[in-house]
Structures are given as C-alpha cells and as structure tokens.
Amino acid sequence: MTLRLRSGNDAPIKVLITGANGQLGLELQATCPANISLIAAGRDMLDITDPQQVAAALAEHQPDAIINAAAYTAVDKAESDVENAYAINHSAAATLAKLAHQNNIYLVHVSTDFVFDGLQSTPYATDAPTNPQGVYGASKLAGELAVQEHCPTAAIIRTSWLYSIYRGNFVKTMLRLAAERDSLGVVVEQVGSPTWTRTLADTIWAFMDAKPQGIFHCSDQGVASWYDFAVAIQEEACNIGLLDKTVPVKPLLTAEYPTPASRPAYSVMDKRTTESVLGYTLPHWRVSLRQMLSELKQQTPNT
C-alpha cells in the first residue's frame, strides 16, 4: 500500500530527497504520493558533503521538507575508509540539519540499527543506550547526534536489513547464488528484522504529513537470523516460480565468516512509537518479502 498524504488546501508539498539513486531513494520516488512535488537529488546532482552546494540547492528549490536517504553504507569498507564514512554520515548530516533548521525545513534523517552493540536479547527502545561496534555505526551515530543538536524538530528513523527490487542487496544476492550454486552458507548468529524499503518509504511519506520529532524505529515486524532470511527467500521465490529449486543452506557461525567490521548479534528494534504515529501495525517481514519477490518477478518475466 502506498500512502496518500492529507493536505487541507491540496497544496503540493515540495520535498528534496538526497541519495535519490540508492535503493531507498528509488523506492521513495516509486511510491511518491500525489500531493508531493519531488526533487530527487543523487550524488551526481548534489554533493551533500559540500555545504555550499547544499545551501545553493535549498535556495534554488526551497523545499518544505528534506529526506536524507544518502549514506555511506559499505560496512566493511568503512573500517579503512573512515574519513569518507564520517564525511557522508556525520558532517553532511550536520550540514543538512543546520540548514534545515535555519530555513524552517522539516528533516527526516535515516539511520541504522548499527548504532547498537547487539548485546541485548529484547528489542531496543528508541532511548536505549547506543554503543556502535564499528566505523559505520559510529559515523551514523555521530550523524544522529548532529541532527539532534542542530535541528531539534527533525525525525531520525533507524532501520535495519534493507532490501528492495532496486540495486544490490541480500535478497537479490541470495537469489543469484541459489541459481548458481549447489549449496549456500549463511551466518546464523546475527539476528534482526529484515525490512523492505517499501515499509520504510511508506513510513517516511506518512511522516511528511504528521511531522513527528525525535527518534523512531522502522523495520518490518518479526525476527530472523540471516540464515532464516536466506531460507525464506528461497522458499518464497520457489513458491512463485522465481527460482526453479531450493539448495541446502548451511548455518555458519560468525567466526566461520570473518569480516573487517563487527556486526550486532541482536538488533531487533521496538517500533511501537512509530506505529503510534502511523496508526497501524507494520507488516511482518515474511509478508513484505513475499510482496517484494512478486514485484521482482514482474520485472523479470523470463525468469
């Protein structure tokens, strides 16, 4: 379901999206409500690490709201590319927050479950202590703090395990590998909530109307390990003919699949505050996965 925003006088709301060419940015464009006038700015159009460029863009377009969907998301690469990770995830977020506040622009800033250390065994509340375990999470937390400092009217939305029909992501990788290989190995110890970008996009569009302030969590409901997710992807894809067969999936321990960056072992988030704003319950991840795969199949009729 794509949300349609209310507008008392039917006046269009002008919204600037940063990171418009990423999977969330593309989903936001695909689901844009009828009363939104959209300025979709990819990196080729707007370098958010350049404050002068950002100021000029806001002066030119004069948006009512900004959705900061731009981020440095290469979790492992960030460990050796610290300067760039902080430039995009922290400094650029600070610039957007300052200018949004100065120009009375509503800001929605997208963050991540990686701000948590993963040591809990119950869903993280929005005010739970943060303790990122790597450069990516630390740079995103720095961005959150900058947004809170410079634009107190902003909404910060943390999300997790994003996938979509756009760009590269875990779901599309699993489909490709399942078609190419006789078996797969996937980590079983890391637990979170897979999230379709549609769920997040619908939430963000709803926020354009309600304009809530503070920190919110948005992911699909339910809990899964990466292993569970990989098994479900194959099952659902086979059910609709997107895959011809399933292949065995071996559960791996984190130690068997070492990566440069540490990842939270448990990053399920409490979404009740977000659901209160939305007025409905967020969908279960398996329902969202099924719908996403159906859309993907429509795009690939020869599969």
Closest residue by Cα to residue 198 from 162, 154, 224, 174: 162
pLDDT at 257: 85
60 CA to centre of own chain: 28
pTM of the complete model: 0.94
At 183, which amino acid appears?
S
Cα angle for residues 65, 67, 68 (degrees, 5° grid): 135
User: Which CATH number is correct for 13-165+195-221+268-283, 3.40.50.720, 3.40.50.920, 3.40.50.1820, 3.40.720.10?
Assistant: 3.40.50.720
* Structural domain spans, the chain: 13-165+195-221+268-283
Is the Cα torsion angle 243, 249, 254, 260 positive or negative in sign? negative
Q: In this predicted structure, what is the pLDDT of residue 11?
A: 72
Looking at 86, 106, 136, 166, which residue is catalytic? 136
The pLDDT score that the predictor gives to residue 267 is 97
Q: Are 218 and 195 in contact (CB under 8 A)?
A: yes
Whether the CB-CB separation of 158 and 112 falls below 8 Å is answered with yes
Question: What is d(CA 204, CA 215) in angstroms, rounded to the nearest whole number?
Answer: 13
Q: Are strands 224-225 and 191-192 parallel, antiparallel or unpaired?
A: antiparallel
Q: For residue 227, indicate whether it is catalytic.
A: no
| CA-based nearest residue to 192, from 263, 130, 125, 255 | 263
What is the separation, in whole angstroms, between the first and last Cα of the chain?
25
Q: How many CB atoms lie within 10 A of CB 226?
A: 24
| Mean pLDDT in order along the chain per 10 residues (303 residues) | 40 94 97 96 95 97 98 97 98 98 98 97 98 98 98 98 97 97 96 98 96 98 98 97 96 91 96 97 98 93 45
